[in-house]
Amino acid sequence: MFDLTGKTALVTGATGGIGGAIARQLHQCGATIAISGRQRDKLDQLASELGERCMGLSCDLANKTEVAGLIDEAVKALGGRLDILVNNAGLTKDNLFMVMKDEQWDDVIAVNLTSTFMLMRAAARHMMRSKSGFGRIINISSVSGIIGNPGQANYAASKAGMIGMTKSLAREVASRGITANCIAPGFISTPMTDVLNEKQVAAIKEAIPAQAFGTPDDIASAVVYLASREARYVTGQTLHVNGGMVMI
Ligand code: NAD
């Protein structure tokens, strides 16, 4: 197991399926974590389950003022240091391209892409200023951002945009020991995919060589690796965790 003792991390969307698993695994590896989300009760529940080294921070990522303050809040809660940022929160508002409403586009871009940009910018500034020579930024993208998906033009654009944005930051900060990478999950069993009906699930499984959906822990394990000291020479990459659904 990778050792993150002494490292501090912020995980967004920690009240969700994948975010909860990421928070648990980072914590299990020894990191002190700040978990962020909109639902205070769920944050408190996870914080009390994990006990020491875990703080809950409420933040609505659709609200720019709240997003602008989140990194400072996390640094304060984590004792003055942020080593690892995991931008995991995300949402879908699906509709066919030709009838997609402006609000559906704007809402998904705001949470999935704009808030990710703002948090990366603030975290990178903090990591540079700290001169610790260590920083990890990990963004949860999606297979939809790689191959597209009918009904998800907004979501696919946000997740593909995340990849280009991550590569750009990675090039700017690599010499300071800060890495920036994406993980592109395929289909993972969480509340986000619970909305699929049996017929859809069966059709998707047909397209996955592993013939099954992944679990939140499959994604969390990839996060732990990219957060580790051992991944210091990996930057600007997208790690595809999808059961072989897309091979690049
Ligand atoms: P989920 O719905 O269980 O969790 C999403 C999290 O994002 C929740 O905690 C939710 O509260 C949070 N969130 C949404 N809007 C927010 C806002 N305005 N402010 C703050 N938090 C907000 O879904 P999940 O499957 O755990 O998704 C986690 C990430 O993985 C997302 O970025 C998603 O796009 C990505 N992803 C999921 C799958 C999958 O198959 N489940 C596949 C590819 C990518």
Distance between terminal CA atoms of the chain?
Answer: 27
* Most informative mutation of 10, 57, 143, 190 for ligand 1 (most atoms within 8 A of CB): 190
Could you give the percent of the chain with pLDDT greater than 90?
A: 100
pLDDT tens profile 224-245: 999 999 999 999 999 999 999 9
Atom of ligand 1 nearest to the CA of 92: 34
Could you give the percent of the chain with pLDDT greater than 70?
A: 100
Atom of ligand 1 nearest to the CA of 143: 43
Residues framing ligand 1 (Cβ under 6 A): 13, 15-19, 37-38, 60-62, 88-91, 111, 140, 142, 185, 187-188, 190-193
How many angstroms does the Cα of residue 200 sit away from the middle of ligand 1? 20
pLDDT tens profile 172-225: 999 999 999 999 999 999 999 999 999 999 999 999 999 999 999 999 999 999
CA distance 114 to 92: 15
Place of tokens 């990675």: 170
Does position 1 have pLDDT exceeding 90, yes or no?
Answer: no
Query: CA-based angle 222:227:231, to the nearest 5?
Result: 85
Three-state SS at 191: coil
Which residue from 168, 224, 189, 194 is spatially nearest to 11, judged by alpha carbons? 224
Place of tokens 């704009």: 114
CB 212 within 8 A of CB 187: no
* Most informative mutation of 36, 91, 140 for ligand 1 (most atoms within 8 A of CB): 91
Enumerate the active-site residues. 155
Atom of ligand 1 nearest to the CA of 110: 18
pLDDT tens profile 143-170: 999 999 999 999 999 999 999 999 999 9
